[in-house]
Structure formats: C-alpha cells, structure tokens
Amino acid sequence: MTDRPTHLVVDCSLPEGHPDKIKHIPYTDEEIAQREKDAAQAAIEQAEREAAEAQKQANKESAKAKLEALGLSEAEILALLG
C-alpha cells in the first residue's frame, strides 16, 4: 500500500461480499493538487471569517465604550446592543 491518499468506490450492482464491491482508488496527481489548493483556500477563508468576527467584536466594544462615555447606563447600552 502506498502513502498516496485513496477514495472508496462502491459498486452497488455487485452482491455483498463480492471482492470488487468496494475498491480503494488512489487519487491522481491532479486530484491531490486540487485537494491541496482547496485546503489552502479553505484556510484563507477561515482566517477571513475569524478576522471579520474579531473586527465585529472590536467594533461592538468600541461602540459600548462610546455610549458609556456619553453617560448611558449598562442597561441602556444592553438594550441598544442586544
């Protein structure tokens, strides 16, 4: 067995127990390259989502601080910010 990743192919037309019913097919070089590209893109998108969420939280905290500076109570601020 190689270190190359594989995927399963199940032939449902064959009866249970048939030796060719389930096959482990190695990924091609192109498929491996695409998986790596997709994984890198997913990591970039995850980082972007995390950065956007952090910015949203920072904006919320900034808004809260500004409202406190205007003299609003904690209850009033919570009513506005939810």
Tell me: the pLDDT tens digits for 49-78?
Answer: 999 999 999 999 999 999 999 999 999 999
Residue among 41, 79, 81, 44 at smallest CA distance from 61: 81
CA angle, 53 as apex, 49 and 57 as ends, to 5°?
170
In the chain, domain spans: 6-81
Predicted confidence (pLDDT) at residue 26 exceeds the cutoff of 60:
yes
User: Is residue 2 very low, low, confident or very high in pLDDT (cuts 50, 70, 90)?
Assistant: low
Rounded to whole angstroms, the Cα distance separating 65 from 81 reads 12
pTM (2 decimals)? 0.65
